[in-house]
Chain A
Amino acid sequence: MVHDTAPDEALRTSSGGPRSGGGARTVGSRPRTRRLDRQTFAAWVLVLPFVLLFVAFTAGPVLGSLGMSFTDMRQRDLRTPFAVNGVGFGNYVKALSDETFRKAAFNTAYFVILGVPLTLVVALAAAVLLDRGVKRFQSLFKVGYYLPVVTSIVAIAVIWRFVLAPDSGLVNTVLGWFGIDGPNWLASKTLAMPSLIAMAVWRNFGSAMIIFLAGLQGIPQTVEEAGQIDGAGSWQRFRYLILPLLRPTVLFTSVTTGIGYLQFFEEPLVMTQGGPLNSTLSVSMYTYQQFGFGNYGLATSMAYILFVVIAVVTFIQFRLLREK
């Protein structure tokens, strides 16, 4: 790391050159430590606002949440958060043995296990399409595909409720052209979740696509040419030459997409309220509901279970996909 050694050089030049303005004042004592003191002082000034805000609003609440998850804190304790009773792992036991929580965990797993690969495949296909095929208007396509990523999930969910509406919806109208009588997507126990997954893919693939595109553009042309000379077909070249080189990119996109999907919340809240019959209830949404019921201790234990799962899944992804 180049920048680590650089301040040393600065110290050397300044202590060796007392004619310079800054050095002149400090030359009497020990310029080396003075300079370091000044840097330390400046560093603290620059770091302090962040550290204060970070401790108060991120680090503190992360620990607070952990502590709270071992108590019976409820809404009535809001003003006296420290006058609550410890319940050990009671909340965790309660959450894990709760039928509805298990259903929510299953739904979340369903959403992630189907949603992440689908999103990455569509993203990679779009990236390859743009990198290899679409040379003209490439940035137009890129921006177009990326558009849904920057929009509010709540607004998207509201729009998609109309897109998926049974009789007057866009999807069923298009299906009708082909003589298909489209179902009531969001009211069906079996189709509601795939509908939410389709919407998530539609909204999020642009983000991974941008990263894949950058990855593809970083692969030198000679790699493909070498494959061509060896007589590999275009699929073989992609599968055995390009894809292995994209490994770090696949790792990054699968981790970020996975972390995001494990927390899905707005989609069921706005589109289905978790229904029908809890078939789209997610862990995040159930956690939020428990908070709404005033069960703060229980809600934080559920959030921490989700947190641990996110950490474990991320770790596994790193293990599976890291470079050998």
Chain B
Amino acid sequence: MRRTWWIYLIGVLGLVAVAAPFLWMVLGSFKTQGELLRVPPTWWPDNPTTQNYGDLFNKASFPRYFLNSTLVALVVTAGNLTFCSMIGYALAKLRFKGRDALFVLVLATLMIPGMVTFVPLFVLVTNAGLANSYPGLILPFLVSPFGVFLMRQFFSGLPDDLMDAGRVDGTSELGIFGRIMLPLTRPALATLGILTFLGSWNNFLWPLVIAQTEDKYTLPVALALYSTGQNAQNYGLLMAGAVVVVLPVLVMFLAFQRHVTKGIAITGLK
């Protein structure tokens, strides 16, 4: 018992260190430009103002960026849930030629950096007439090696008896996948769904390259360009913008956190 109090003290200090920049951001987003430049800085806003959030609507089109980010993330998530579970099932449970080679290929691409593919991808997408378009933003991310790996691992853990029972009942192979096996993977689908959504929401390099006019910007692209462009000194606007980028993700993570941490532990250790 003697030992516990200081262990908790360290733990709480760690939490404070993790949370402090976020609190700084939220408090700062309600301060006026003058107050943000004051030395020494204030903690609590003197005259709390929502002006910065108003500016996100008036001076910048953050609602538009928000919709773009949401749309892209939703479609990318739907694509990953559909296609990764399909191939994950085939790799785990069906026999076909080239199965092992395909799986090795998928694994090999897990560590390919986005930097390696983005230039030819840009050339390809531009020549397909998809630069600065939603399909251009979405198509390259509809499947991910990570998703395939996760779903394959999960399907491998399901018993084959269920498939055999389906075959005996005369269910087609695709029916066995869709109606018997897929509903059992709900926990894995939840994990994949939330991780894919978060990944797409935070994705930066590709949208930065392919979104060329403001109406196609996603939130991180807009925030990065504002923070390095002519608004670089508009601290209040940037803080409020950061809140808009971070807050939905934090809420979502807190709501589904068990799926996230479980999924990471599963894929990390298997």
Contacts and interface: CB of A to CB of B under 8 A. Distances in A.
Contacts of B84: 50
Contacts of A248: 269
B104 interface: no
Nearest to B242: A155
Interface string B96-114: 1101001001100101111
13 contacts: A3-B93, A6-B163, A7-B93, A7-B94, A10-B160, A38-B172, A42-B177, A49-B87, A57-B140, A65-B120, A133-B8, A146-B261, A306-B115
B180 interface: no
Nearest to A58: B109
A40 to B, nearest CB: 5
B201 A145 contact: no
Given A129-B7, A143-B257, A150-B253, 16 more contacts: A6-B163, A38-B172, A43-B95, A58-B145, A130-B11, A144-B19, A146-B260, A154-B204, A168-B38, A206-B18, A259-B113, A263-B115, A270-B224, A270-B228, A288-B205, A291-B119
Interface stretch (B48-56, B122-130, B185-193): B122-130
Contacts of A68: 119-120, 123
Interface size classification for chain B = 35 or more
Contacts of A314: 111
A14 B256 CA distance: 42
Contacts of A61: 116-118, 120-121, 124
Contacts of B106: 54
Contacts of B37: 168
A157 B246 CA distance: 12
Contact of B41 (A7, A168, A269, A270): A168
A150 B121 contact: no
A311 B96 CA distance: 30
Contact of A62 (B3, B39, B116): B116
Interface string A203-222: 00011001101110010000
A161 interface: yes
Nearest to A19: B168
